[in-house]
Chains A and B, each alone.
Chain A
Amino acid sequence: MSLSLGQKLGIRSMIYVASEKIPFFWPMRTFIHHNPLHGMEDLPFEQAVQEGKRLLHGRVFLQRPLYQEYLEQGKVDRNYLEQQVTEYAGKREQLPGVDMKQWLMALLTNTEQKVIFSHRVASVDDIHAAVKGQPLPPLEGFSASELVPFLRHDLLGDRPVYEAIDALYGTEIGNELDELVIKSCLDFFDEGQSVWSMPGRKQGFFKSWREVANRNVRLYLRGMHIQDILAVDDSPEGVIAHVMNTLGIPEERWVHYFTRELAKLHGWTGFIRWRWNAKNYYWSQQYPADLIELVAIRLTFALALISERANERGYKHIATTAVAIEDAIENNTMETYLRYELYSRRIVPAMAKRVEQTLARNNPAQLEKVFNEYIQHKRQHQAKSQADRIAVIAERVNQQDAMQSLSTGQFSDLMDGLRMFEFCEGMFWLRAMESDAINKLLDGVNLSPPKPREKRPFVQAMFCIDTRSERIRRHLESVGDYQTFGIAGFFGVPMSLIELGKGSEIHLCPVLLTPKNLVLEMTVADAEDVHAVTALEKAMHELKESVFGPFVTVEAIGLLFGFDMVGKTLLPQTYNHWRKQLHKKKRSTHLMIDKLDRNQADSILRTVQRAVIMLAIEQDYGLEAENINDDMVRELREAALGRQPGAPTLANARNLNKQQEKEFILRLRDHYRIDAAYTQIQMERLGRIGFSQEEQVGFVSQALRSIGLTKDFSRFVLLFGHGSTSENNPYESALDCGACGGNHGQVSARVLAQMANKNEVRRKLRKQGIDIPDDAWFVGAHHNTTTDELVLYDLDHVPSTHIFYIDRLRNGLLAASRLCAQERLPTLQLNPKEMDTTSAYREIERNAMDWSQVRPEWGLSRNAYMIIGRRGLTLDMSLDGRSFLHSYDYTLDPKQRLLENILTGPLVVAQWINMEHYFSTVDNEKFGSSSKVYHNVAGRFGVMTGGLSDLRTGLPSQTVLNKGKPFHEPLRLIAVIEAPLEHAQRAVDSVVSVKTLVKNDWIRLLVIDPEKQVVYQYNNGQWDSQILSSSDELPLAKESS
């Protein structure tokens, strides 16, 4: 059976669609916070969480006792909670003597356990009887067929066949299948962690796996006839179709079935999904893999395992296909039901042994007898448990009599009311928590217009919107005349960076973007080498001379110029030694941000090519460097580029005949890539380096206008990127700057500062109305969020007029750091005690260096708000490190373009971070990655728990929990925009992704209109308004009596 092209493409498409609900998993080197339910954002939040719960089997709200604790701690708006309950109760029919609101409040605030549980067997009559203390009514006309719909729902549909088989026969295929798949993944995707690597990986996931699986003697001997399955078709699509058809799944259910299969090991699925999408990822290019191959492998193993079990003693009669299972449900209902009860562990304990024995016997008469007995037992059991739980509430609200007097119909209503309430309960708690958070925020905001300044601030400082900036900004503002702003941590300049001493590019921008410009980091050997191009040329020249230390690694050159020279064979030994030294003392560096002109590019390329040719001669002919002269190299270059026919100097030196000479030239072209066509590509690559002047002006202008800083510039304008420090921490990147793709932000800061300090750039900005005075100097800087250290860069470029002020500046920064450490320390310490600022600062530093510390800092835990507006709005209040802050001045943004950019970038990133924390908190086992203590690094890109598990996604328990209880308070991001309502609405409407997030309640949106002094809240599809009291209003004077 061979599939047509159309069918194959259709299967690929189905799997693509099926996988969309499962979130990406980025390799942990650049940990990206993301919403685990990102694939469901087109659904309203309330619905999406139910879907997420169904698919990933995770809790999507906290358990009730935790909410009750929050209520006690004053973190839940009790009034709002009661209001919701009253509303809910009001919609239901009144039952005589029953005050539904009281019942529900008692349930919410006084009861720990869930009251209503699902019961298939006990009927409402039964429960009602139990409540009244009466014996159960006789079981009439209960036939097994009543159980069929329930069994069909649980065992068919998109439930994988092997799961249903496990649930019916206790075969545990599911666990074994997961193990086999995980092992195959670990083997294939390894990125250098293991010593032995899987053969044939270049052929791709499925092909290489096939080879190994076909020859795996152990599996064969076990009876897993994988070869038979694989023999059906060469392609993964063909294998998939074969297995699905064998299992009897109708095609219209395939997509859902695939989703369930992929969701089983959602970490690995997410990783493969990400990897397939990351076309520039080295490992993906070397060893390609996609989800179709994963599904094919998984299904092959599944079918093989099922067949193997079916051949084992005691299992020869089991149903092995969906059709067979359906048949068993319809025609052998009693047996199927009892099996399901037994192997899914819902069996009434008292009857467990009897049921087991009966199932083993295969005697229809006995089966029926035991079935009826079981049903009776179960009824009793369920009715009593359920009745008890309801009675507890009745007692609490003192309405037992009323409850007992209800008719069965009314009692059923009561139960329905309770059940539906418990279903919606999570949302009620969540909204009440958010209401409290919103109230607290609105209590503290200040709407008075900014006071006019007499003189410009001493320093203006821009920080990333990250929540950790809020603390340091507050403290900095308190130690002097410092004005602070919030901006996305990459300062709006997306760039790729090749760091000094590294061989790969990193993207310093949100993952939603692909940077077009490349920046190189070079060392500045001496003062004259300020011109970076000279430095680069020099670097190329001294490529081999590692005694002086090449500035750029060979890998970087390989990257820049496309030479595949990761070959250690080309490198002298001392080079490696130098490489190791580099990390120990990072010299001051220079960033190359300007475009190369044609001549410079030519010159560089020529130098590189010459260097490569020299290496080639040395490698192939063993000539020492001293014996290779310039003429030789020049001739060879010209020959390789097709500009002259031969290379006589070399030929003579090595006594080569015409043939050998020609061969070497060809080798230079093919192997070493010195040819005309390739040169063209290399020139294009060099063209990526740097930013054109228009780009530089554009980025500086955009950044300044987006935060509303276009005049009254201070002497110092500091741009703080941020990053963290920790030891022995695979999650290190999670603590770094998300806006910079999980990296440190100081390079972006330095780049923007460099651009803004240029005279040409400032001249053009003046034409746009942004007048930066000559005595304003931009400085790139770094905020270490683990230690709160503030470091300034490139101080050697500061004009002499400013040197005088640097001491004062440094002192201010240090004071702010110390105050901030003092504020943060209590949250981190096991034994809190009062500390002065200096000791606190030292203690926090020590904490960062401790490699056994599983919690170097709390990171973005407890994030709750995002405020887009002037700093004046929140200047007077402490937000306790819980808010993202983006400066914004709507008066400078008449067309809302700047606001749109803030919404589409920073707001979306904040939402991702917020949702990641939310789900990792409400269910750390399923959505988070549990304790770091049990983590083992897998393949160098992820972690597993224990020796073999799914790739763990989300945040570890140490980030969001404190001693088992949530530290992060899970609620949806409360986003505030300071602008007139129509202005904000227009911006939101123009950005489809944000509009969807708002409409579907993924974020809570508030708009504060400073002109009208009104706050608007988006609730259930409409805007509620509320007048905010101005902070200038005097309290009413009390009348003295």
Chain B
Amino acid sequence: MTNLNFSSVKKLEIILSGEHQAFATELLDKAGVTGYTIINNVSGKGRHGFHDGHLMFNEEDVLIMIIVAVPEDLVEPILEGLEPFYSEHTGVVFISDIQVTRMVKFSS
């Protein structure tokens, strides 16, 4: 078995309403992120109440979560970029430390 090299990166979990998906992914693209994962139909509770995830006829009302792994130097710019958005909209961003094995996939 080949040697596994662990590299430390930061993980951002960005939770926001589905209607803003295009905005968020474009921001990440412009930041130079190499890829991201989107989890759909997320339910949750915030200060405005509970959001249910199942709607059939209206895709815009559900919440989504975007998971992206980035080198540390991208964290602040992305957060700085999202700040004006979150001043007006519900959602959160979680930042955590994770490790990946194929660093080449995460740096541009």
Interface residues of A (CB under 8 A from B): 4-10, 12-14, 16-17, 20, 255, 276-277, 279, 510, 512-514, 900-901, 904-905, 908, 990-993
Contacts and interface: CB of A to CB of B under 8 A. Distances in A.
A13 B57 contact: no
Contact of B58 (A14, A277, A904): A904
A993 B85 CA distance: 20
Contacts of B76: 6
B85 A5 contact: no
A10 B22 contact: no
Given A13-B84, A904-B58, 10 more contacts: A13-B81, A13-B83, A14-B84, A16-B85, A20-B88, A279-B22, A513-B59, A901-B57, A992-B51, A992-B61
Interface stretch (B1-9, B23-31, B95-103): B23-31
B85 A13 contact: yes
B52 interface: yes
B55 interface: yes
Nearest to A278: B22
A1 B30 CA distance: 20
B78 interface: yes
Nearest to B51: A992
Contact of B56 (A20, A514, A904, A992): A904
Given A5-B31, A5-B77, A13 B82 contact: yes
Given A17-B85, A990-B52, A12 B57 contact: no
A6 B81 contact: yes
Contacts of A992: 49, 51-52, 61
Contacts of A9: 27, 30-31, 77-78, 80-82
Contact of A905 (B31, B57, B80, B88): B57
Contacts of A20: 88
A739 B26 CA distance: 29
A10 B80 contact: yes
A13 B27 contact: yes
Contacts of A513: 57-59
Contacts of A908: 58
Nearest to A989: B49
A991 B57 CA distance: 11
Contacts of A4: 77
A12 B85 CA distance: 10
B24 to A, nearest CB: 10
A275 B57 CA distance: 22
A277 B61 contact: no
B72 interface: no
A510 B60 CA distance: 12
Contacts, number: 82
A904 B83 contact: no
A10 B58 CA distance: 29
Given A5-B77, A10-B80, A12-B81, A17 B58 contact: no
A739 to B, nearest CB: 10
21 contacts: A5-B31, A5-B77, A6-B76, A6-B80, A9-B30, A9-B31, A9-B80, A9-B82, A10-B83, A12-B81, A16-B84, A17-B85, A17-B87, A513-B58, A904-B61, A905-B56, A905-B57, A908-B58, A991-B61, A992-B51, A993-B58
Nearest to B79: A6
Contacts of A901: 56-57
Interface residues of B, number: 31
B58 A7 contact: no
Given A6-B76, A13-B27, A279-B22, A512 B59 contact: yes
A888 to B, nearest CB: 14
A17 B49 CA distance: 22
Contacts of B78: 6, 9
- Listed residue (A16, A279, A908) with the most chain B CB atoms within 10 angstroms of its CB: A16
Contacts of B74: 5
B77 to A, nearest CB: 4
B55 to A, nearest CB: 6
Contacts of A510: 57
Interface in B1-45: 22-23, 26-27, 30-32
B53 to A, nearest CB: 11
B84 A17 contact: yes
Contacts of A904: 55-58, 61
B84 A255 contact: yes
B81 A277 contact: no
Nearest to A996: B48
B85 to A, nearest CB: 5
A276 B20 CA distance: 12
Contacts of A279: 22
Given A17-B87, A17-B88, A10 B61 contact: no
Top 5 nearest A-B pairs (CB, nearest first) are: A9-B81, A905-B57, A6-B80, A6-B77, A5-B77
Contacts of A16: 23, 84-85
A4 B31 CA distance: 11
Contacts of A991: 55, 58, 61
Nearest to B83: A10
Contacts of B89: 17
A281 to B, nearest CB: 12
B61 A993 contact: yes
A210 to B, nearest CB: 18
A277 B20 CA distance: 10
Q: Which of B78, B84, B85 has the most CB of A within 10 A?
A: B84
A701 to B, nearest CB: 13
B10 to A, nearest CB: 15
A258 to B, nearest CB: 10
A13 B58 CA distance: 25
A255 B61 CA distance: 25
A10 B81 contact: yes
Contacts of A5: 31-32, 74, 77
Contacts of B59: 512-514
B57 A512 contact: yes
Contacts of B88: 17, 20
Contacts of A17: 84-85, 87-89
Nearest to A237: B30
B70 to A, nearest CB: 12
A13 B78 CA distance: 10
Nearest to A909: B57
Contacts of B30: 8-9, 12
A13 B20 CA distance: 11
A513 B87 CA distance: 27
Contacts of A900: 55
A255 B87 CA distance: 11
Contacts of B85: 13, 16-17
A699 to B, nearest CB: 11
Contacts of B52: 990, 992
Contacts of B77: 4-6, 9
Contacts of B61: 904, 991-993
Contacts of A905: 56-58
Contacts of A7: 80
B48 to A, nearest CB: 8
B72 to A, nearest CB: 13
A7 B79 CA distance: 10
Contacts of B79: 6
Contacts of A8: 30, 81
A991 B53 CA distance: 10
Contacts of A276: 22
A513 B58 CA distance: 6
Contacts of B51: 992
Contacts of B31: 5, 9
A365 B31 CA distance: 59
A471 B77 CA distance: 58
Nearest to B60: A512
A904 B58 CA distance: 6
A22 to B, nearest CB: 14
A418 to B, nearest CB: 37
Nearest to A512: B58
Given A16-B23, A992-B51, A10 B56 contact: no
A694 B63 CA distance: 27
